[in-house]
Amino acid sequence: MLNQPTTVFLFIAVFSLTILRLVLSFKAPYFVNMYAGYDDQLFVQYSKSILSGNWLGAYSTRALSKGVSYALFMVWSNKLHFSYGFFLGLFNVLASSVAALALKPLIKNRWILVFIYTFFLFSPVGLTSEYSTRIYRNPLVIPTVFLVIGCLVGLYFRKNARIKIFACWSIGLACSFPFFWYIREDSLWLFPLVFFGLVIIAGSVLFDTIKPFKMKEWQIVFKSLVFTKQKAIKLVLCLLPFILLFTTTKVLQSLNTQHYGVSLVNDRTGGAFKDVSKQLIRMDDGTSLNQTNATIWVSKEALKKAEKVSPTLKSISKNIDWIYNGSPWTGGEEIAGDIIFWALRDAAAQAGYYKNAKQTEAFWQKVNTELSDAYANGKLEKKKEIYLSATGDGKTLKDLPLVGEFMRTGLAYNLLYKDYSQGSDQSLGLKKDITEAEKILGHSFDNNWRDVNEKNKAPIKITLIAKISNIIIRLYQKLLPIWLIINVLGLGIILAGSFFSKSQLITFRGLLLLIVGLMLTYLVFLIGVSWFCSWAPDRKELFMMTYTGAGVPVIQWIEVLTLIGLLQLPIIAKKIKK
């Protein structure tokens, strides 16, 4: 029999694990590239501007180009006088705690809850360099995904709880979901899970007093429906995450209107520039390039055709020529992927735009109107491709096998923690820029900063903290075969229980519903990332390691739910209860 651990021993275990995780985060070898103007440097500048009361700084091609959540996270850390590493560690602890507590209605054994807390807390993706030590938005994605799913799962298993308890989980989801939404610009993949999850929870609340019924009896069911004040409050709380997301969007639009004169959250993935990007991506350039080279989203010839039908775009033709002759974006060859849009914004800035947001938005709006008219009157034709998003590239049937290859690679990284590690990355930048970042983050880069002008600087050594993190990652990798066998057994029990169990039917079907929802969510995520990244076959491994990290928390949630299914087996459940 399993003996219940004492409260003191349990507290010591949880406390020790938490302190270890905080130390790994606080002492981690963080690095920043202050030459990455649209990445690391951008968020440092965002934070600096917010701290100085100047919102996101002067308007430019960069001002409204990326989500603001990560910059706000750095600002909150600075305002609270926490170092960035310690604050990030606290956030990981919070997310893992919420995720474990979400499952408390199903798990009475506190040791198992501690195991789940630990499993999430030391997730290998949260220790690997790209998702832990780089001063970029990716480290924030992992705990936030854990948190959003945790609050949704917690709400689901408390749909019949008192209003105060129900409200706590609803508020947690309402705060974490908008925050996740504005970390990156591709956060849409998690929306269906949250939407349909809340619809199911709302339905359960509404019909909680009605016994199971057949579809043909729906009229009887609605007649017997009892609508109470408590149900009304819970239904409003189910809407709260969407209300807060809408409110957050309006607040950001208001701030940008106040500072820049345009009611946009992002002027790259929204507004007129988004529409122009969509028009250009879909344009048939009249050549065979689209059939022979799927890596090119918008060709030189496509831009020339666009200039012929758009006098407004033609007005910056010299600057567009500069993209291919003199810019840092290319040496004259075609530009692959979405890089062309960053280059096009630079060309417009060189022509005098991106100094005034209203003027810039009006410019792109006029270009969009002229391109739309050209499509309408037949001067431009669209490519025959399949599109998943407005600003993403289209694919033909012959491109789909490549997307499949990317999906297999991404799954390997997520499921097997392939190549995950924490290393000896170096910080790059001018001394004054590095110092600026250090002030904002409360962290010193002295141990790994390298001046590019100094050629003989000693190599960076892997720190003790990085070595410990790598040991933990390897432990997960080594135990993975046993863990996956447990998951498969758990999933089998859940499937069997969903059809044959009488006493635990609701529990098994609830677990199955969540697992299916998470699997579909992961599939949507993996297809989206693979679709986007397949423009660079030569960088498949790098891209899928870098861009698929957010899928790991989803997979780990599925794995934990299958474990819980295994623990529901009567012979095991009795021992756990004892």
pLDDT of 28 reads: 96
* Rounded average pLDDT over 472-493: 96
DSSP, collapsed to helix, strand or coil, labels residue 260 as helix
- The two three-digit tokens of residue 8, written as one number: 């003191």
- C-alpha to C-alpha distance for 152 and 517, rounded to whole angstroms: 12
How far from chain centre, in Å, is Cα 541? 19
DSSP state of 79: H
* Rounded average pLDDT over 442-457: 83
pLDDT of 4 reads: 56
Q: Which residue has the tokens 């690391």?
A: 40
- C-alpha to C-alpha distance for 155 and 153, rounded to whole angstroms: 5
Q: Which residue has the tokens 């033909």?
A: 396
In this predicted structure, the answer to whether residue 451 has a pLDDT above a threshold of 60 is: yes
* Rounded average pLDDT over 522-548: 94
In this predicted structure, the answer to whether residue 332 has a pLDDT above a threshold of 90 is: no
Mind listing the pLDDT tens digit for each residue in 337-383?
999 999 999 999 999 999 999 999 999 999 999 999 999 999 999 98
pLDDT of 16 reads: 96
pLDDT-based confidence at residue 496 (cuts at 50, 70, 90):
very high
Question: Which of residues 223 and 243 earns the better pLDDT score?
Answer: 243
pLDDT-based confidence at residue 389 (cuts at 50, 70, 90):
confident
pLDDT of 418 reads: 95
pLDDT of 3 reads: 53
Q: Which residue has the tokens 């290859």?
A: 405
DSSP, collapsed to helix, strand or coil, labels residue 27 as coil
Mind listing the pLDDT tens digit for each residue in 68-116?
999 999 999 999 999 999 999 999 999 999 999 999 999 988 999 999 9
Question: Which of residues 569 and 343 earns the better pLDDT score?
Answer: 343
Question: Which of residues 5 and 95 earns the better pLDDT score?
Answer: 95
* Rounded average pLDDT over 505-532: 94
DSSP string, 129-194: GGGTTBSSSHHHHHHHHHHHHHHHHHHHTTTTS-HHHHHHHHHHHHHHHHHHHTTSS-GGGGHHHH
By C-alpha distance, which of 83, 66, 90 is closest to 269?
66
- C-alpha to C-alpha distance for 51 and 183, rounded to whole angstroms: 18
> Do residues 102 and 157 make contact, with C-beta atoms less than 8 angstroms apart?
yes
Q: Which residue has the tokens 């440092």?
A: 44
By C-alpha distance, which of 357, 379, 122 is closest to 263?
357
What predicted TM-score, i.e. pTM, was given to this entire model? Answer: 0.93
- The two three-digit tokens of residue 357, written as one number: 């947001």
pLDDT of 502 reads: 78
pLDDT of 44 reads: 97
pLDDT of 287 reads: 84
- The two three-digit tokens of residue 92, written as one number: 């990981």
pLDDT-based confidence at residue 27 (cuts at 50, 70, 90):
very high
pLDDT of 206 reads: 83
Mind listing the pLDDT tens digit for each residue in 205-241?
887 654 544 444 555 555 556 678 888 999 999 999 9
> Do residues 147 and 176 make contact, with C-beta atoms less than 8 angstroms apart?
yes
pLDDT of 295 reads: 87
- C-alpha to C-alpha distance for 543 and 504, rounded to whole angstroms: 43
